Structure 1
């Protein structure tokens, strides 16, 4: 009778067999991105008070902006906290030991990129859609990852 650790070592390495803690970290990253995006969508266009400006029809890329009093202090605090948490979560995913193991097993270049992309859609790494939220399109998923 062999032990399970030795049996696991005998198995070929599968780069897309993601560790549970990496799946959880990716899930947290995606959830934080969604929370930040949703929070920002409710905020005025400028963090600080601004008088705005009119449309400039002669310059197609210069849309007008209405006057704003800026963000409330609590909204700015929440935004800053979400950004900080998002950066921390991204570092946890990007710095996970699984990527070193992939490289040790020869997963590199386009194969490593494909593996990282697969993580973004792996079971356990994708948030369940909220009933009242619009469906995420592929561009949202790619930005979140």
Structure 2
């Protein structure tokens, strides 16, 4: 897909998509740092309660601050996704090319992986 196929993307749309990528990464990182259960739950051992991965430790649950952060990030994701999807630029792209153009925008604005992320090589 080239610029001539999709047209160039307006700066504000590119900035919205870049911000959406950043908030998605922040949200994933936040969730990865939290206990496995939102509410406190007693763990269980292998063979109990359908565990396929072995023992499951107790979960202390999420703190109110952790819940608020997750809710704030979810709300920001919804707002950004709506702003990107509802941007007036998409009305200028022929219907049959919108999906490809949307994927092109996502690809162009996705941040480069950090050197310490899986799938990247150290220089």
TM-score class normalised by the smaller sequence: 0.7 to 0.9
The answer for the alignment partner of 2:21 in structure 1 is 30
Q: Write out per-residue CA displacement over residues 39-61 of structure 1, whole angstroms, 9 at most, x where no aligned residue.
A: 1100000110001222338x6x7
CA RMSD of aligned residues (A): 2.4
* Count of aligned residue pairs for this structure pair: 115
Structure number with greater Rg is 1
Report if aligned partners of 1:29, 1:86 keep a CA contact under 8 Å in 2. yes
2:87 to 84, 93, 96: 96
Q: Which runs of 5+ in 2 are unaligned?
A: none
Q: Select which of 95, 99, 102 maps to 1:108.
A: 95
Pairwise CA distance, 1:69: 1.1
TM-score, with length taken from structure 2: 0.80
Distance in structure 1 (CA, Å) of the matches to 2:41 and 2:52: 16
CA distances 1:75-119 after superposition (whole Å, capped 9, x unpaired): 1111110111011110011111111111xxxx223x221111000
Paired with 2:32 and 2:38, the residues of 1 have a C-alpha distance of 12
Choose 74-83 or 46-55, whichever is displaced more: 46-55
Q: Which runs of 4 or more aligned residues in structure 1 lie more than 2 Å from their structure 2 counterparts after TM superposition?
A: 13-16, 52-57, 61-65, 125-131
Counterpart CA distance in 1 for 2:118 and 2:107 is 15
Q: Distance in 1 between matches of 2:103 and 2:46?
A: 40
What TM-score do the two structures reach when normalised by structure 1? 0.69
Q: CA deviation at 1:128?
A: 5.0
Query: In structure 2, what is the equivalent of residue 10 of structure 1?
Result: none
Gaps of 5+ in 1: 1-12, 138-145
